[in-house]
Structure 1
Amino acid sequence: MGRALVWDATCVDTLAASHLPSTSQKAAAAAESAQMLKRRKYSVICNDYVFAALAFESLGPWSSDTKNFINTVYVYIVTKIGPYVSGDPRAGAYLAQRLSLAIQRGNSASILGTMPISEQLDGLYLL
């Protein structure tokens, strides 16, 4: 379409008190809410740019726009001609796995950041 892509990614806490009423009723509710807020925030640039609001939850669910965006990127990686084409039909799965692992690493860093520094805990986990 001749417009640059602008994307904003966020990862919201599934178990936050503000999200718990909705996430306990429907999977990805917090991600969908975050996606809507991002779309509202960037609505002024949508005429000049292609905007993608990527929203993930800390326990795994993705918003609907995020799934669509990743599927579009997957199709491009596998089928289009260019320097980033892999041709491997598993490329989309690899991309999704890398994103999921990044979220898990962030969760681990958050948990480890709350642990006290102590030599007694050295044997509990390996870094």
Structure 2
Amino acid sequence: MVGAAATSAEQAKRRKYENLDSSLIFVHFGVETLGPWGPEARALFKELSKRVIESTGDPRAGSYLGRRIRLVIQRGNTASILGTVHRGGGFEDVLDFI
């Protein structure tokens, strides 16, 4: 099922952080590596997009926010991969531009 891992991650985070101080707002944001977002992540994104559009007056602002979030996720994935690649294995030319 598409998005099942993201939903599962959100549920695990909910259990892990259930004892946080009730004065804090904590949103369980689960995103799968290849793109699907969990339901709480989607809901938070929709709310943030709405607020950014209202504050800027730019109807494209929500789309820009989504692109930025996806870029940060891709950079995190790249960092994870690069952390497992042995330097000196012939990949230097390919990996240096990342």
Q: TM-score range by the shorter chain?
A: 0.7 to 0.9
Quick one: which amino acid aligns to residue 31 of structure 2?
A: F
Aligned-partner Cα distance in 2 for 1:113–1:43? 31
Identical positions, percent: 38
Q: Tell me the TM-score normalised to structure 2 length.
A: 0.82
Residue 65 of structure 1 is matched in structure 2 by: 40
Q: What is the alpha-carbon root mean square deviation over aligned residues?
A: 2.1
Aligned mates of 1:43, 1:51 — CA distance in 2: 9
Q: Provide the TM-score with structure 1 as the length reference.
A: 0.65
Q: Partner of 2:51 in structure 1?
A: 76
Q: CA deviation at 1:117?
A: 1.3
Aligned with 2:63 (options 81, 89, 93): 93
Superposition deviation, residue 33 in structure 1: 0.8
Distance 1:46 1:35, change over 3 A: farther
Report the 3-state secondary structure (helix = DSSP H, G, I; strand = E; otherwise coil) of the residue aligned with 1:58: coil
Superposition deviation, residue 115 in structure 1: 1.6
Q: Given residue 67 of structure 2, which amino acid in structure 1 is its aligned partner?
A: Q
**Structure in which a larger fraction of residues adopt helix:** 2
Which residue does 1:108 correspond to in 2? 78
User: Cα 1:49–1:113, aligned 2, differ >3 Å: closer, same or farther?
Assistant: closer
Partner of 1:54: 29
Distance 1:55 1:46, change over 3 A: farther
Cα drift, residue 114 of structure 1: 1.6
Q: Identify which range, 42-51 or 55-64, moves more after superposition.
A: 42-51
Alignment length (residue pairs): 97
> Do structure 1's residue 40 and structure 2's residue 24 form an aligned pair?
no
Q: Which runs of 5+ in 2 are unaligned?
A: none
Normalized per residue, the structure richer in strand is 1
Runs (5+) with no aligned partner, structure 1? 1-25, 80-84
Shift of 1:91: 1.0
- Residue 49 of structure 1 deviates from its aligned partner by 3.9
Counterpart-to-counterpart distance in 2, 1:123 and 1:93: 33
Deviation, 1:50, is 3.6
